[in-house]
Structure 1
Amino acid sequence: MGSTHIEAERPADRKSLGASLIGQLLEWFEWSSYAVFAPFIAAAFFDKSDPTSALLATFGVFAIGFLVRPLGGIVFGRIADRVGRKNVLMITIIIMALSAVVIGIMPTYEQIGIWASVVLLLVRIIQGFAHGGESATANSYIPEIAPPAHRGKWGSMVYMSIFGGSVIAYTLGGIISLLLTDEQIGAWGWRIPFWLGAVAALIALYLRRHMKESEHFEELQGGGNSDYNHLSEERPTTPKHSNWLNILLIIGLVSGVTSSHYTWTSYASTYAITQQGMSTQGAYWASVFAQTCGLIALPLWGALSDRIGRKPVMYIFAISVGLLQIPLMGFIDSRPWTMLVSATLAVVAVAAGGALLAPVMAEVFPTSQRTSSIGFAYSLSVAVFGGTAPYIFQWFTTHNLSHISGIYVVVLCVLTLISTMLLPETKGIDLRDA
């Protein structure tokens, strides 16, 4: 068969890719908005008499949203493996949109007391449950519809939606901080991203209605398109581990990526504002610039992995972030340019790891168990090592132990390095033989 046929990017695949990514982008925008406006949400939904405790509680709720993600990944993953990827992607975006509406209109601590904190916690649990299913399914779906020779580049776009949603959230945060006073933001301005996200989700829902189902899933169900047989490359399969061993290795692989990601996209700006005295606007715009650079780097890292392999690029991530984490965090002070330099270098390095998560995970697990396996391994690792990172780092900082935060990330980058060494090279593998 000709290579041009193998690598063809069909219009239906590109439209499905776009519909999936737009929905992912909006979901991550809503999710990231919580972290961006954490100081204001803390004041709105928790007792203002102890700002440090309120901020810790806010990050605690942020972490709990992540802790339920493995359950969502398992439940929705099984559904996706049985009834299709598209159906799950429709359900999860509806749940996320409704959750955003509730956060955008719910009363504050001053109005209903402790019930405001309780309702916020419940909504974040529901969001986390849906988010686990969304992430697991997108990490299966996009690599499955990608041309095999470009799976790294296409797969990197899953993480682009994560960075993209965060960039939009921080950009909006910067605009809101420019146009409104801190008092106005605290009173109602922090609600704006949740209102906008709920409205935009309706557009994404419409686009997802026209997505095609994954042909890998359809073939598994016995209804595959005959053209599907021409989509894979003729190459040997990689050595196989047991599925549970692969799950453990993926948990290790993801740990360094997710901990460093949330360090630099969710915690660093709050650290700069609350601990170093940096202006809110300065921290936001520095984060926007850094994450925009990371957004540009993602497909480049993915394309590089299509040429030289997944493992070399993952080594670049683990080694560079492991070496740079502590000095870059220590470089931040009250001047916004220090945040800009540190975060940009860190986020571009983090992008090397983030770009490869979707393709590597899809290439490791078999089609019949792909989404449920990713849902468990990826969501568990993100919950344990990523979603808890802002809370852990804030706790360390509060107790004058901020240096331990850097050591925590470095250790997890070493775990990623070891996991990468133990996993086989999967570039270009036929997903039906994974």
Structure 2
Amino acid sequence: MEFVFGYYVDIHGVPKSKCVPIASLPSMAKGSELYTVGALEGMGDLGPHEDECAGIPDLEKLVVLPWDPRFALVPSQLQLNGVPYEQDSRNMLQRQVDRARDLGFTVNVGIEPEFYVVRETPTGWEPFVASDALNSPTRGYDLEATILSEPFIGPMARYMNDLNWGLYSFDHEGGDGQYEFNFAYTDAMSMADRMTLFRLMAKHVARQVGCIATFMAKPFQDDFGSAAHINISIASVETGENLFAHADGSAAYSDLAGHFTAGVLRHADAISAVVSPTVNSYKRFTSKGFMDEISWAPVFRAWGNNNRTLMCRMPVNRHCLEVRTADASVNYYLGMAMVIAAGLDGIEQKLDAGAPVNVDTYLLDEGEREAYGLLPLPMTLDTALDAFETDDLAQRAFTPAFHATYLAHKRAESHEFRSVVTDWESATYMQRI
């Protein structure tokens, strides 16, 4: 190890850092590295006349890059004038982790990251394994397609094992060039740190095979979206016992799990603005769209046991809440923080999640949906931001200053998107009128 990056992330979850020679690690640990974060994406308006933020590394989380041991990464939290900078994503998650601990809880999280590995050609983006596109409608779980992708998934698996992440499976997902890796859950902060490194690692390995790894939520209109389901549970600080499990030892869930889920559902639209953070994210929330197959994506604000058409799933094979609206473009620190804040709010108010919906909601007509009390998820970023703007929990979780920054940044992104004339509009309207 020769160099260390004491990184933090911008509003998109993209890591930022200065590079420090190993000899300077002791001074970096004391906050020697200063950052003018006002010049970065969505991190507040600190001007050139104001103090800089100091990066304080969490040295217990230092990781040597398995593909290049010259470099190490260590997550850092920003301080301004000696106190945590409230517009730092990791600080926001830390506030919710601390809030949970004050209630006697440890928050555990598992992520199911999906993403595409594609190469740019003169005719457009093509899957890493070209033959993926020849097997319609999908090569999901296909053994041959998985073996052919070994130049990418092989190094990924080896690096994850080097990092002791508890990798237990990986597969070719439904999309052409789409993959998923499944590994052990851990505490929320450690998982957010790991997912930041996971993206960096996937992008590196993809470049080694002449491709890119994209974490865009819906890169192709006629193919599957990329989710990043947040599987979250609450454990006892004292015993480590999963408090979502029913006391009788059955597959049933505890009242605590129901209250947590109810809190998430109450603030579902505001949560969507954070876990589905781009205008592209909302192209995923359709039962089919231009695809040959159903999308398996959530479309309603409700919960069920094995129902993948809903925002919240409480599976029968493990005791956790799966938040299915989170997609591959999420800033994991912010996304987890919002889900935890809402869930703890549900616990504190003892909210009722109601009865599960265990039917294929894709097939229901309007009257049947009304009978189940199904409410649609936001279909645009603007709609989600409207809820985020007025949601008191979002304001408290982000703090007023960061809430305003996030809202302004995302409103600007949405406005820019609305101002773009797309190829579809040109093809549809140019000669019609």
TM-score range for the pair, normalised by the shorter chain length? under 0.3
TM-score, normalization by structure 1? 0.28
Higher strand residue share? 2
TM-score, normalization by structure 2? 0.28
- Which of these two proteins has the greater Rg computed from alpha carbons? 2
